Structure 1
Amino acid sequence: ENDPSICAVCQEKLREGDAVCSLASGARFHDACFKCNVCNEPITTENFVRDRSARTITCGNCLPKCPHCGETVSVFDKSVSAPDGTQFHAECLRCDRCKASLLEGFFHHPHDA
């Protein structure tokens, strides 16, 4: 999976003399490729998520935020996507009035007209 001679983002060969970044997983990148796919800024902290299948890296600032709690929704969290693409932590998707989970079924509150 991690060919140390190939950049994990652009899939081009890493050549001797290239500026290279390496991860503990063994993945290697051209320095110019080790940037956020959303804001295009270089990754300079340990706060990022790498999507191996899409060959992208997203910095912590560009990861989706749960509109309920305001915290980052990472690929490691149990989450739910709304039809508009908004992501919620599964535990945050609750009725504001009664705090019942909204994870299952059709949502209709008896107080709604």
Structure 2
Amino acid sequence: MSTRDGGPAVCNSCNSVIQGRIVTALNKKWHPEHFACNTCRKPIDGAKFHQHDGGVHCVPCYAKNYSPRCHGCGDPITDRVIQALGVSWHSHHFVCGGCRKELGGGGFMEQAGRPYCSSCYADKFAARCAGCGQPIVDKAIIALDAKWHAKCFTCNKCRNPVTDSTFSVMDNKPLCTRCA
């Protein structure tokens, strides 16, 4: 065999002329038996291999020794890696701590080192409105030693929103200046 420039193909490993089948990888030529995994030393068959620290590794050795480990199951991650909360995850193991829905590409909230979808986070951890009892996930009005949705902070008599900075209080409920 010869190279494109007319010279013989020389094995990158043993520096001998290659007769017969040639493995071309990393812009070099190899005898098929000499293009081998740096870990297990077995020839790398097929086109799939990984480079790491200047060496080549077969897919199983790379997965076993160099792939990130999933925080959820401990197994190597050989496909899409999700980096979140300072660790690596398989996409199907990065799930909400409440409903167990995959969080893959979407946003999440963290509580005590666990990820939660926004809905479960609101249900489990968000402050509750003193008016309606529902979670407050946006801006809140803080008054009367409680938190309120803006739409829930209403006059106890006329039910109109209390928007003035001064208001009266009756039975620990707000009263607008007109009803006071």
TMscore range, shorter length: 0.3 to 0.5
Larger Rg computed on CA atoms: 2
Using CA pairs under 8 Å that are at least 6 residues apart, name the structure with larger relative contact order, 1 or 2.
1
Q: What TM-score, normalized to structure 1?
A: 0.45
